[in-house]
Chain A
């Protein structure tokens, strides 16, 4: 790891240099929220944000992505041939990614890039991307990243971690991609002493007061959790909208859809949501997850139990708090995680018998 100092006076100049080698993305304010968008030449990322409304996962895995085109016109030589849509996989850099969202990319990657199967769209986009993270010094009350195996200065998934000083950034160059980006930007003023970062990191971590308990999830019996008594209470308020899944940086489910206009057609990859009834409807019309409670249970069991058991890398949640703050009816994953972690089926059975 190399540590360099970037004078803020040289920031814009560095970005200008980067524009020549990378497609740049960064946070920008739209109405009363932030989102990650493509930065035009000379445009600065707005780093005065806490976090974006939707996570930057959409830059690798767009909500709606056309992947194949075809013609149904039999006069065309290549009618009915599925042709891949060319993707721009030239180098791109995402500036201002929060550590939670970068960690989330590593979790999604567990699913999209396995020894057996690789999602080519994700893998190529990820390969082309350099993530320039921004350490979080002002976390929100809904942030609980320190208890999910992440943290406001966490480095997983990042190529560079920026730490915001008054008149400068400290930049930790974490990977070869990060080194290459710093070189392209001309950020090469070395700094020897990293002590400042340690104390800043501790101060940021101390500001995160919200937490989840997850130490016991792996030991819990899967079927006991599945049949736990609290699901109806947890699910009652749920509207079965897609807010939690769409705002989640770790939700990876998608649906393939063909659309035809006249004689030309496209195949799209669209975000899907386990909250929607259609998510599991069979072609027979049967829906194995036909009720709201089953769907809510699925979401939490996937994130907090099945994933834990399958990958042994903790929960499928980085503690960004988006679902907590945006759920229209205030269903709180922190509460559900703690309930699942502490659930004791025998005790509940006793209480019922009494």
Chain B
């Protein structure tokens, strides 16, 4: 995907030079392997800073909330779906945006790659589908397909659904992927097994809130975890409070989540909290035929009512 770089720089510089936008939101090269830093540029000379590769997993739609400027934004498939959701939910207007669409070929999973090797990774380079991990001066070759972020491996919307200009021709969408194998595995469990699975899953949580803060859907002026009059949830490390946070956060995303994976990527301790939002994503799809963020013309299922909405769950 790094071949998109020149085009991204060229479009961004042009938009700023022609004053079509006040700023462009993209990524700049990070100071660590497998890390890029979301950034904005507001003059054409700085467009050279912008980069694109398989380490751009943070969802840039998150940086649009309530902004007033005219903004150029670099958007892969999932970012574009969250931009649509943002527009539908009045967090930004379509007229404010110039969407630079990036056909995505998947992001790599830094937690997974870090866990694959003993010792510190010095460098991770990519060339098409080949990933080269350097440790102690020694190069290790990986296939990108084996180290994709879990959400990217099952993504069927790699191309932006909304854009003003594309940096390249659309890529072929993945077909015949089993998107919900992990959810079905949990659905098949007994209540007790589910309980234990979730307890194990959430045990490393330090409640830093990186997951909710990386999520473009989490833009409430005051998050329920920050409510203090009255307080909604305990602030300690009591497992009940940790679970309450994660479950409530997930439910807030029901019918809105695009499975961009930003939450899981941002988690400093590698918790796969996507299984919660993914269950809700699956339910939205199976019960309402809904995939979030594909169109500006339809309201999400949980903020509309239709007489034929499924109601078997009411007992």
Contact = CB atoms under 8 A, between A and B. Distances in A.
Interface of A: 30-33, 50, 53-54, 63-64, 140-142, 233, 236-237, 239-243, 246-247, 255, 257, 259, 268, 270, 273, 276-278, 281, 324-332, 334-335
A54 B208 CA distance: 12
B237 A241 contact: no
B310 interface: no
B132 to A, nearest CB: 17
Interface of B: 30-32, 35-40, 58, 62-63, 111, 114-115, 120, 122, 204, 206-210, 213-214, 222, 226, 228, 234-238, 265-270
B267 A330 contact: no
Contacts of B237: 63-64
B268 to A, nearest CB: 4
A246 B205 CA distance: 11
B115 A142 contact: no
A277 B226 CA distance: 8
Given A329-B266, A330-B32, 7 more contacts: A53-B268, A142-B32, A237-B58, A241-B214, A243-B268, A330-B36, A332-B32
B120 A241 contact: no
Contacts of A332: 31-32
Nearest to B262: A328
A140 B120 contact: yes
Main secondary structure of the interface of A (DSSP, over half): loop
Given A32-B114, A330-B37, A255 B235 contact: yes
B39 A237 contact: yes
A328 B214 contact: yes
B236 A276 contact: no
A233 B38 CA distance: 10
A281 B229 CA distance: 11
Query: Which among B115, B237, B238 has the highest number of chain A CB atoms within 10 Å?
Result: B237
Contacts of A64: 235-238
Given A32-B115, A277-B222, A257 B31 contact: no
B208 A246 contact: yes
Contact of A331 (B37, B206, B210, B226): B37
Given A50-B120, A64-B236, A239-B266, A329 B38 contact: yes
